[in-house]
Structures are given as structure tokens and as C-alpha cells.
């Protein structure tokens, strides 16, 4: 009986350690599909979003977005409808501490226009064609803070996705 205990006790200890490792440590964050989106405009223009957030704090309204994040993929922040050719100004402050990040405008003819990339602070005037445009954030294993807002716009309807 003492001989059996010598074999059973180490086996139980190994099983207990394995169980603790499995149940106490989360699985690795697999976002390889979302990370591949960053350099692929044919995916960025798609109507649906594909993203993996490890963290997302803050919110998005029709007037502005103010978020802290850690994510990969693409997320649409706004749908913008212009009744005629219009101009809109977007103000931005992005502080990126990890990975690659960009904010893009997708025009009605599915052209991807970079608004900002990685850490940037400033403003950009966007010429909108008549029809539906979208503004998306796109990240490749990125972490940071983002503030976006609009100024000087007429003849457009801005709708928040969140």
C-alpha cells in the first residue's frame, strides 16, 4: 500500500497543478484574423466589422468619440450621409502606446482615405461625396487612447454606431 501511495500522490499533485493552470490562466488572446485586416483595404471597406477587444473604455456619440482601448481589427464609429458634396472637419488626438493604429474614411465609392495613423494630434478637412461614408478605427495589436470630434459641417447626417 505504501508503494501505491508513492505513485498516486505525485500523479495527483501533477493533475492538481494542471487543473490550476487551466482554470486560472486565460487562453492566449488569438486575434490573428483581425490583425491581418490592417493592411488589407478590401477587408476594411466591407460593411461589417471584425474586431477583438481586450479592453474598451469610453464611448461614442454623434458628436465625438473618447475611448481607451486594446484591440485588433476594425470597428465602424460613424455612418455619415451627405445630401450633396460637402466638407467636414475632424479633430483628432490619438496616443498609441503599442501596435499599429489608424482612423479611416470609407467613401461612397469604397475608397479608403487615411485620416490619421498611430500617435497624432491635429485636424483634417474631409471632402465628402454625395452618399454614405463611414469612419472606422483599424488596429493591429494596438493599445492607446483616442479622441475624435467634428467641426464645421453642414448638409451631412452623422450617426454613431455605438
Band (pLDDT 50/70/90 cuts) for residue 89 is very high
**Nearest Cα residue to 101 out of 114, 89, 110:** 114
Mean pLDDT rounded to a whole number for the chain: 86
- The Cα 93–Cα 156 span in angstroms is 23
Q: How many Å apart are CA 103 and CA 116, to the nearest integer?
A: 5
Q: Which overall architecture, per CATH, does domain 32-160 show?
A: Sandwich (2.60)
**Residue for cell digits 493552470?**
21
- Mean pLDDT score, 128-157: 93
Higher pLDDT, residue 126 or 13: 126
Q: Which residues have CB under 8 Å from 85's CB, separation 6+?
A: 127, 128, 129, 130
pLDDT at 19: 64
**Domain residues of the chain, as ranges?**
32-160
Note the pLDDT of residue 28: 47
The pair phi, psi for residue 107, each rounded to 5°, is -75, 170
Amino acid at each position: 500500500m505504501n508503494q501505491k501511495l508513492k505513485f498516486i500522490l505525485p500523479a495527483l499533485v501533477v493533475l492538481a497543478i494542471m487543473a490550476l493552470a487551466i482554470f486560472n490562466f486565460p487562453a492566449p488572446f488569438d486575434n490573428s484574423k483581425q490583425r491581418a485586416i490592417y493592411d488589407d483595404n478590401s477587408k476594411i471597406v466591407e460593411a461589417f466589422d471584425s474586431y477583438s477587444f481586450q479592453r474598451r473604455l469610453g464611448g461614442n456619440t454623434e458628436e465625438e468619440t473618447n475611448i481607451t482601448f486594446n484591440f485588433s481589427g476594425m470597428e465602424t464609429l460613424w455612418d455619415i450621409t451627405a445630401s450633396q458634396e460637402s466638407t467636414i472637419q475632424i479633430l483628432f488626438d490619438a496616443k498609441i502606446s503599442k501596435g499599429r493604429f489608424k482612423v479611416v474614411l470609407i467613401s461612397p465609392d469604397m475608397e479608403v482615405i487615411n485620416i490619421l495613423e498611430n500617435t497624432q494630434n491635429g485636424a483634417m478637412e474631409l471632402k465628402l461625396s454625395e452618399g454614405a461614408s463611414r469612419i472606422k478605427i483599424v488596429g493591429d495589436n494596438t493599445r492607446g487612447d483616442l479622441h475624435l470630434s467634428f467641426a464645421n459641417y453642414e448638409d451631412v447626417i452623422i450617426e454613431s454606431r455605438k
